[in-house]
Amino acid sequence: MAPSFDTTRTPGGHPRVTVVSSGLANLPRVSAVPDDVQADEVLAAALVTEAAALAQLMRRERGADLDRDTKSGVSDIVTAADHAAEALVVERLAALRPDDGVLGEEGASRPSRSGRTWVLDPVDGTYNFAQGLDWWCSAAALEVDGEPVLGAVRHDGSATTWVGGRDVAPTRNGEPLAPLVDRPLAQACVATYLHPPWIGTEVAAAFDRFAARAATLRMLGSGTMDAMAVADGRVHLVCQHTVPPWDWMPGAAVVRALGGEVRHVEAAGRTWYVAGVPTAVAEAADLLADR
C-alpha cells in the first residue's frame, strides 16, 4: 500500500503533512497538494512539503538499504528518495500546471508553453540526507525569463517551510520574516563549500580572497538550507562556485524578497553564486573578481 497522508493546515495556511500509513510500492495517492490550488505560493509550499515527507519516509523505512548511486564523486550521490520525490512533484505539476515547464536535478524536463518553468531539487544536501544528517531540504523555484520569481523550501526535520518571491511576501511557516540586517563581510558568517580536489588550485585562490575577509565560515552541505539560514538571520552570506539552477534559484527568490542581494561572478574560470546581505555580497563579489 502506498503512503497516505493526513493533511491539515498551519495557521499560516501552509500544508501540515502527517504520515498515517506506509509502504513504498507506489507514490502517495493522498497528498499535501489541494486539487483546486490557485496561488503559486500555496502550490509551491505544498509540493516541497510533500516531497520532503516522502523522502523522509523512505529514509526512515529503508535506512542504510536506501538505494544510492554516485554521480561526479564519492560525496555527490543520488538516492531512490531523490528520484521518487522528484517524480511525485512532476506528477502533481503535470496535473495542476500542465502548461508550465519543469527542470529537475534528477533529470525531469518538460518544455514550457506558458513562459514559466518549475525548477526542482527534491533533496538538496543528498549526502547529508543519506548519512542521517539533518541539514537537507526539498526545494522548488518558479522561473520566468531566467530569473526565480518564487521559491519554496521545506526542512522536514523541523517542520519548517519558507516561501517568498518577487510578488510574494517572505514567510516562515506562514509568519512574516524580518528584513535582513545588513553588515560588512568582516562581520559576516559565510556558508560556503570547496570540494577537496580544488584545494591548491586557481579556484581555491579565488575562494581564499573572500573567505579570508569573513568573520567566520561554515561548510554545512546544503546550499539551499544555507540560504534559508540567511533568511532567518543566522548566516549572512552564501558563496559557492558552479551552482546549477536548482541549487540557487529557490533560495535566491526568498533572499531577494527579504531585501538581500544575489550575484553571479566570474572568477578562476568558474561562475560563483553569491547571496545574502547587500554589503557583504558586494564586498565578496569584488574580492572574487579581483585578480
Q: Does 189 lie in the same domain as 269?
A: yes
Number of domains the chain is built from: 2
In this structure, are residues 152 and 142 in contact, taking their beta carbons and an 8 Å threshold? Answer: no
Contact criterion met (CB below 8 Å) for 199 and 290: no
The pLDDT of residue 63 is 73
**Cβ atoms 41, 80 nearer than 8 A:** no
The closest of 159, 155, 184, 156 to 254, measured between CA atoms, is 155
pLDDT at 267: 97
Residues 42 and 170 in one domain: yes
More confident residue, 97 or 5: 97
Say yes or no: 28 and 167 in one domain: yes
Q: Which three cell numbers stand for residue 179?
A: 528584513
Assess whether 30 and 138 both reside in one domain.
yes
Give the orientation angle of helix 80-96 with respect to helix 40-62, to 10 degrees: 150
Mean pLDDT, range 24-30, rounded to an integer? 42
Within the chain, strands assigned E span 4-9, 15-21, 68-73, 76-79, 101-104, 109-110, 116-124, 137-144, 147-155, 160-165, 168-172, 175-176, 189-192, 216-218, 237-241, 261-267, 270-276
Percent of the chain with pLDDT over 90: 79
What mean pLDDT value characterizes the chain?
A: 89
Same domain for 213 and 230? yes
Give residue 36's pLDDT: 62
The CATH number of whichever domain residue 270 belongs to comes to: 3.40.190.80
Long-range interactions of 195-201: CB distance < 8 A, separation 24+: 195/73, 195/75, 197/73, 201/268
Residue 207 has what pLDDT? Answer: 97
- How close are the terminal C-alpha atoms of the chain, in Å? 59
pLDDT value, residue 155: 99
Pairing of strands 137-144, 261-267: unpaired
Instruction: Return the pLDDT at 9.
Output: 41
Task: Identify whether residues 220 and 85 lie together within a single domain.
Answer: no
Query: Is residue 228 domain-shared with residue 98, that is, in the same domain?
Result: no
Residue 19 pLDDT more than 50?
Answer: no
Same domain for 190 and 129, yes or no, is no
Mean pLDDT of 16-38: 49
> What is the C-alpha to C-alpha distance for residues 286 and 51, in angstroms, rounded to an integer?
38
Query: What value does the mean pLDDT take over residues 60-84?
Result: 80
Instruction: Report how far residue 148's alpha carbon sits from residue 159's, in angstroms, rounded to the nearest whole number.
Output: 24
Q: For 201-231, how does the pLDDT look when each residue is reduced to its tens digit (9 = 90+)?
A: 999 999 999 999 999 999 999 999 999 999 9
The predicted pLDDT at position 288 comes to 96
pLDDT at position 5 is 38
User: Each residue of 170-208: pLDDT tens digit?
Assistant: 999 999 999 999 999 999 999 999 999 999 999 999 999
- Please tell me whether residues 133 and 50 are part of one structural domain: yes
Q: What pLDDT is stored for residue 7 in this prediction?
A: 37
How high is the pLDDT of residue 20? 36
Above 50 in pLDDT, residue 147? yes
Same domain? 69 vs 159: yes
Per the model's pLDDT, the better-predicted residue between 213 and 78 turns out to be 213
Same domain, 193 and 280: yes
The enclosing domain of 150 has a CATH number of 3.30.540.10
Answer yes or no: do 86 and 166 share one domain: yes
Q: 126: domain range? A: 4-176
Average pLDDT over residues 61-84: 79
* Residue type for position 225: M
Distance CA 121, CA 152 (A): 11
